[in-house]
Structure 1
Amino acid sequence: MKYKIYILCITLLISINFLEARKIKLKKKESLNNTNSTFGDINFEMELLKFNNSPNRQDKTNKYYGWETNTDIIPSGDMRAVKGGTFTMLGGSEYPNTFRSLGKDSRHQINGLMDGLQNEALLGFDYERLEWEPVIATHWKIEDDSLTYWFRIDPRARWADGKEIIAQDVIAAFKLLTDDGHGDPNTVSYYNDLFHMPEAISKYVVKITSKKIDWRSFRSAAGLYPMPSYYLDKIDGAGFIEKYNFSFLPGSGPYAYDQENSKKGNEGYIILKRRNDYWAKDHKRNIGVYNFDEIKFIFIEDDNQQVMSFMNGDYDIYPWSRAQWWVERFTPEKYNEIDKGWVQKIKIFNFLPKGPSGLVFNTQKPLYDDIKIRKAFAHLFDVEKLNKRLFFNEYVRLNTFFYGTPYANPNNPYIEYNPEKALELLNDAGWSRKEGEPWLSNINGEIFEFDFLMSPGDERIFSTLQDDLKKVGIKMNFDQVDGNMAFSKTMKKEYEITYQGWTAGFFPNPQGMMHSKFANEIEVTNITSMAIPEIDKLIDQYNAEWDAKKRVPLAHQIDSIAVNSYHYALGWTSPYGARMLYWNKFGMPDKGLYYAGGWQSPITLWWMDPVKEHKLINAKQTDSQLPIEKQLIDYWNREN
């Protein structure tokens, strides 16, 4: 299925109390006298001097100064990795409407990828060890009030044009995020509600103060991407989205956009080149990652053409396989490339967060404001039949917004396929079928008819739903538009019913999708206009609760109410991190993917293996066999 999965940090996974992570989980809180330091910052050096001249230095830095760092970093990459080569992958079915990862129309999956390859946050987070790590900032400090956060920027950090990264660049980024001119009210509201304007304490030290106790606030502050102030000081949010639709500000990350060799449009491609002058290329955290000299994204609209192009060697991995194709089409009997081991199949299990997906109802349309109507659709959505007939049991059925996490309410029901129950609900809502009539109608004689927004190719899935609805008297019309347009219409709430899936961040944030303050907004993740006072109250309590053990039951209540509100008739998700075909020329770590990584992981984690590449070229020339490598990686024992 070609419905888009868009990168978004929403509800989900694995609970951690950040205050406790700071106090307990950090294996090495490095005291400042152990850091090497040509800090270039008089305020920071004065504090360091006071610390070095004080007794009981380790205790005092923790108690009085509170600065932390982490030098006990375990690289995510593999020591065997080598640099070089071009990695080509399918960037989607359509060229993105914009390159921006901020502002309206920016939630194409490729936007977040390009942003993450060219920019860096103040801190990184090791999801496996639950530890903060230096990136742009070398040190950080959380005041006892849990509201005030300090970050000390690495004086070595540089933008791609060679200029220093300074505290003012954090302020400039925050100003842009909170400028409603960029057209993303979700982002504006989130940062405005959470933080005061950051303060530049000195050239390299920035202070960020939260407006309220929120257990995720330090994570949000640490995750800020500085942006070059010497550009942003000359432009506002509206100007930014106009000027940087298809270009980028200088970034601090390992790759940069190669505009000269890229080509715009659906016949086009996007090339990112690895920067030889990347300021942190020798940092410990970057061992074994960012291995490819070039990363090239191509775009192919037709599903079958995507497969043909892959088998022709036009790109390197194919991660978007339909379940039916995975089981029946991509077999040694049907493809010589697979039979000969030139193309390998692999399924990798890990701790990738999964967001909700399902039929979504625009409750701003009067018909779908009735919970009886929404619940009736849930009873007519036969997910089990789809999984057996079309998905070959490759997926699992959802009954939660927080799949696979402690936040998922274990008592949530699975809504059974039950046409009789659905008809009862429809009758109660004023819809009945007169004798001899094919369609349900209301007291005004209007038949029950709706347009289902979807992308081309999705009819193979939703024709089953169409047939089931027809049996009870509901007429479902297919409104087919291209994927970008379908998502744009969904975000603008220009739909009746559609199917939408979301990715998830590692830590839950149900506010964007469920809080009533976004119910009447567009370009937000509350696409159904959910507005439930009880959920609002629980979200406020959840946000303010620093104790993880107390957050979980709050999340259970939120999850239960949301599921039983039927704004989503929940669908399915994959229980693994990625399932893909790839040309047999790559090296990869034993784990295959990052701990919480998806199909994007190979971009930064794999490498071109010169020996394998040579063997592949020779095998294709001589039509000879290569070894069939293992088709399942379960490094963390997640399958069962």
Structure 2
Amino acid sequence: MSDRFLLPRLPTFWPNRRQFLAGAAAAASWAALGPSARAEGTNGKAHALAMHGEPKYGSDFKHFDYVNPDAPKGGQLRMSVANSTTFESFNPFIVRGSPAAGSGGAYETLTIQSNDEAFTQYGLLAQFIETPDDRSWVSFTLNPAARWWDGTPVTPEDVVFSFETLKTKGKPLYRFYYRSIAKVEKTGDAEVRFSFVPGDNRELPLIVGQLPVLCKAYWEPRDFEKPSLDLPVGSGAYRVTNFEPGRYVVTSRVLDYWGRDLPVNVGTNNWDSVRYIYYKDEAVALEGLKAGDFDFRQERSAKIWAIGYNIPQIADGRMVKEQIPNEDPTGMQCFAFNIRRPIFQDRRVRQALGYGFDFEWSNKALFFGQYTRTASYFSNTELASSGLPQGDELKILEKYRGKVPDEVFTSTYEPPKTDGTGNVRDNLLKARALLQSAGWVIKDKRLVKQETGEPFQFEFLLYDPMFERIVLPFLRNLRRLGIFASLRTVGIAEYQNRLDNFDFDMIIGSFGQSRSPGNEQTEYWGSAAADQPGSQNVIGIKDPVVDELADSVISAPDRESLIQRTRALDRVLLWGFYVIPSWHLRSYRVVYWNKFSRPAISPKYDLGLDTWWVDPVKAAALASKQSS
């Protein structure tokens, strides 16, 4: 998910590839960055860095292909924030306090990614980028026009301060992402250089470009780690102009925004303002959309998509319902175990519980057949493992033979299947055999540990009631195995706090992936992240093999080796049964009031809502229909 106006539905795990703002930094491993990977610039400096080869857009480009450079400015976009009761902070970079919707719009990064390339970064706050062939450092020359809202220039001191503050006081992911940066220093009136520790971390120059830059003059005298509703000084295109905790946030386009004419911004930032409206309940939010209280909704529920929009507003054209295809990696949405819990530490137990989830029945009875079962952490990409390992992938895995499950070499991974009738008896028999082999037996109709008599019970934690109808059938199937699992739905603030402190047994997790994975893999699965509160290794994986494979992905010297190393990592994770894979969809389901237009070309890897605009003709026609 990477549209600057859309909030990720799950509180963690989705890398934000367009902006490094919402607490989930993105990463993409890139090949040897020699002269062919750098666009022509001034004195060896470049306007962009590409993952492979050259950037799609040259130094003289006017705008991205997926925007309308003549899109009119004006109007308001109204969005909902459902299942959220309130917010406590306009600082999205810290663990404490729920950040307000739209608060990330105040902050800009050194570079920004295009949404029709695998991974290329173009200058935003930085006008030029320079890195040597050995990638031992990267230097950014700031755009002399870059300004904070108070009119003062963005300086190298701001960049250095931002790095040091985020690494020491920000969310744990910043420490992981920046741990290979040895030194940051001002090297000129408008230049700052990041020097790296020795190693083969080939993506670091691009990761550093995603650094959110904070205003030192504003933040230095304040407690950065303390949630606050004070409005910060930023440099972005939108600033918060009105808010009421628990009800709404309004961000308005900065009329004298310094970067409005940059090629990376042409055709974007088209709304005069964006209003985020808070709803405690998803059902109430849906009714708010139908009533015209807000304008746009990205639908997550297959049931609502199938039957919830049989309404006059759609039939008469006042509202639009459409699916917009994308080429995004689908990542891994799943039921995620917390393997810090003793009952989930045996791989056979985790495998057994997977037999209790009847996807085929769920897809037919609950999802109206809309979804595809996920069978890879890197689904919908060439990075996904399949069949048996061969060639270079097999060579990579051979060194771990005996340290990884034998099935890695002998079996093709497939999630358990059923006939979709709801009869899961055969799968439950397989589950029972696995549980017995792990020392669990039935006593008085309950599954207990044979040695201690400890009952097998756990809590499934949710923050969104929408998922209850999906989880409850799974728990009922587990009950037939003698497993007594409870379901608890809590507010999002409590949920996030429990997640940050790993205070849960099982959750619905969603691990987003990029077209070219990199450093985020150590944050997802690395041993060093497992005990760090607030990290994204919520599962608690501590496996030296996984650590080595994740490191090898980061250091891949070219695209082909990246593919093979990622497939090997994928295969080991799958056979570890750390999650029960669920499903994915390869399109965006959107419903909106018919007053918007969008470019003829959609970005491959993003919804691109920030490229839409209020169409005056459509808006007038809608107003006429509404009043008649």
Tell me if 1:273 matches 2:285: no
CA shift for structure 1 position 152: 0.7
Deviations 1:231-257, CA, capped at 9 Å, x for gaps = 34435xxx2021x53234321111111
Superposed CA offset, 1:236-286 (max 9, x none): xxx2021x532343211111111xx31112xx1011010011011122332
Aligned residue in 2 for 1:118: 106
Equivalent residue, structure 2, for 1:621: 627
Aligned-partner Cα distance in 2 for 1:154–1:273: 23
Residue in structure 2 matched with residue 205 of structure 1 by the alignment? 191
Q: 1:15 to 1:250 in 2, by over 3 A?
A: closer
Give distance in 1, aligned partners of 2:349 and 2:497: 25
After superposition, give the CA deviation of every residue in 1:468-525 in whole Å (9 maximum; x if it has no partner).
1122221121122123322331221111112122334453131101111112222111
Structure 2: distance between partners of 1:152 and 1:309: 46
Q: 1:169 aligns with which of 158, 164, 168?
A: 158
CA distance in structure 2 between the aligned counterparts of 1:234 and 1:5, rounded to whole angstroms: 30
Contact 2:29–2:203 (CA under 8 A) maintained in structure 1: no
Unpaired segments ≥5 residues, structure 1 = 37-67, 623-640
The match for 2:208 among 221, 224, 245 is 221
Q: 1:99 to 1:395 in 2, by over 3 A?
A: farther
1:282, 1:269 → 2: CA distance? 30
Shift of the 12–221 alpha-carbon distance from structure 1 to 2, 3 Å rule, reads closer
Paired position in structure 1 for 2:245? 264
Summarize the alignment of residues 9-20 of structure 1 with structure 2, pairs less than 5 Å apart.
9=15, 17-20=30-33
2:589 matched residue in structure 1: 579
* TM-score normalized with structure 2 length: 0.84
CA distance in 2, matches of 1:595, 1:197: 36
Which of 4, 8, 26 is equivalent to 2:14?
8
Q: Work out which of the residue numbers 466, 474, 477 in structure 2 matches 1:468.
A: 477
Deviation at 1:14, TM superposition (A): 11
2:343 corresponds, among 367, 380, 398, to 367
Match of 1:255 among 238, 242, 253: 238
Whole-Å Cα distance in 1 between the matches of residues 299 and 577 of structure 2? 28
Structure having the larger proportion of residues in helix:
1
**8 Å contact from structure 1 (residues 147, 213) kept in 2:** no
Matched, 1:134 2:123: yes
CA contact (8 A) 1:25 1:131 kept: no
Q: Which moved more, 1:163-172 or 1:415-424?
A: 415-424
Corresponding position: 1:99 with 2:97: no
- How far apart are 1:107 and its partner, in Å? 7.9
State the Cα RMSD in Å. Answer: 2.6
Distance 1:567 1:597 in 2: 28
List per-residue Cα deviations over 1:407-462 (Å, max 9, x = no partner).
2112351221421111001111222224xx33222333333222111133432111
**Counterpart mapping for 1:233-244 below 5 A:** 233-235=220-222, 239-242=223-226, 244=227
Which letter maps to 2:239? A
Is the Cα–Cα contact under 8 Å of residues 109 and 212 in structure 2 kept in the other structure?
yes
Give distance in 1, aligned partners of 2:328 and 2:502: 29
Compared CA separation, residues 15 and 365, structure 1 to 2 (3 A)? closer
Query: 1:106 deviation in Å?
Result: 6.6
Structure 2 counterpart of 1:453: 461
Determine the C-alpha separation between the residues in 1 that align with 2:515 and 2:382. Answer: 12
Segments ≥4 residues shifted beyond 6 Å: 10-16, 33-36
After superposition, the Cα gap between the structure-2 partners of 1:504 and 1:248, relative to the gap in structure 1 and judged at 3 Å, is farther
Determine the C-alpha separation between the residues in 1 that align with 2:429 and 2:480.
11
| Secondary structure class of the residue paired with 1:196 | strand
Q: 1:513 to 1:285 in 2, by over 3 A?
A: closer
- Tell me, yes or no, if the aligned pair for 1:14 and 1:406 is still in contact at 8 Å: no
Report how many residues are paired.
Answer: 564
> 1:139 is aligned with what amino acid?
F
Greater Cα radius of gyration, structure 1 or 2: 1
Identical-residue share of aligned pairs (%): 23
| 1:146 maps to 2:135 | yes
Q: Separation in 2 of the partners of 1:558 and 1:34? A: 35
User: Is this contact kept in 2: 1:318–1:580, CA < 8 A?
Assistant: yes
Measured in 1, the distance between the counterparts of 2:9 and 2:218 equals 36
The residue identity in structure 2 corresponding to 1:228 is C
One-letter code of the match for 2:595?
K
Matched, 1:347 2:306: no
CA contact (8 A) 1:214 1:543 kept: yes
Task: Give 1:39's aligned residue.
Answer: none
Confirm or deny: 8 A CA contact 2:501 2:533 kept in the other structure. Answer: yes
Tell me which amino acid in the other structure corresponds to 1:99.
Answer: F
**How far did 1:347 drift?**
0.7
SS of the residue aligned with 1:406? coil
Give the TM-score, by structure 1 length. Answer: 0.83
**Secondary structure at the counterpart of residue 183 of structure 2:** coil
**Displacement, 1:29?**
1.6
CA contact (8 A) 1:69 1:133 kept: no
Amino acid at match of 1:393: G
**Does the CA-based 8 Å contact 2:128-2:141 persist in structure 1?**
yes
Distance between the aligned counterparts of 1:552 and 1:120, measured in 2?
31
Are positions 1:410 and 2:386 aligned together?
yes
Is 1:439 the counterpart of 2:453? The answer is no
Q: 1:287 to 1:3 in 2, by over 3 A?
A: closer
Question: For residues 396 and 296 of structure 1, what CA distance do their matches in structure 2 show?
Answer: 34
Aligned-partner Cα distance in 1 for 2:239–2:182: 32
Structure 1 distance, partners of 2:88, 2:516, is 29
Aligned-residue offset at 1:381: 1.5
d(CA) in 2 for partners of 1:410, 1:23: 35
Structure 1 residue 98: deviation in Å?
Answer: 3.2
SS at match of 2:121: strand
SS in 2 for 1:172: helix
1:384-424: CA deviation from partner (whole Å, max 9, x where unpaired): 22112111222221111112122211235122142111100
In 1, the alpha carbon distance for the partners of 2:25 and 2:332 equals 9
Of 560, 582, 590, 2:600 maps to 590
Structure 1 residue 315: Cα displacement: 0.4
Partner residue, 1:390: 366
Task: Give the secondary-structure state (helix, strand or coil) at the position aligned to 2:442.
Answer: coil
CA drift at 1:560: 0.8
Aligned equivalents of 2:620, 2:334: Cα separation in 1: 45
Do the aligned partners of residues 506 and 9 (structure 1) sit closer, same or farther apart at CA in structure 2, a change above 3 Å counting?
farther
Residue 89 of structure 1 pairs with residue 79 of structure 2: yes
Conservation of the 8 A alpha-carbon contact between 1:17 and 1:547: yes
Instruction: Check conservation: 1:514, 1:535, Cα contact below 8 A.
Output: yes
| Cα distance in structure 1, aligned partners of 2:177 and 2:98 | 16
The CA distance in 1 between the partners of 2:231 and 2:514, in whole Å, is: 25
Retained in 2: the 8 A contact 1:387–1:394?
yes
- Change in Cα spacing, 1:33 to 1:101, as seen in structure 2 (3 Å) is closer
Given the alignment of the two structures, is residue 532 of structure 1 paired with residue 543 of structure 2, yes or no? yes
Structure 1 residue 34: Cα displacement: 12
Letter in structure 2 aligned against 1:487: Q
Identify the residue that residue 529 of structure 2 maps to in structure 1: 518
Q: Distance in 1 between matches of 2:493 and 2:175?
A: 23
Query: Which of 572, 575, 593 is the matching residue for 1:564?
Result: 575
CA distance in 1, matches of 2:361, 2:15: 30
SS at match of 1:472: coil
* C-alpha contact (below 8 Å) 1:195/1:210 kept by paired residues: yes
Change in CA separation of 1:506 and 1:488 when aligned onto 2, cut-off 3 Å = farther
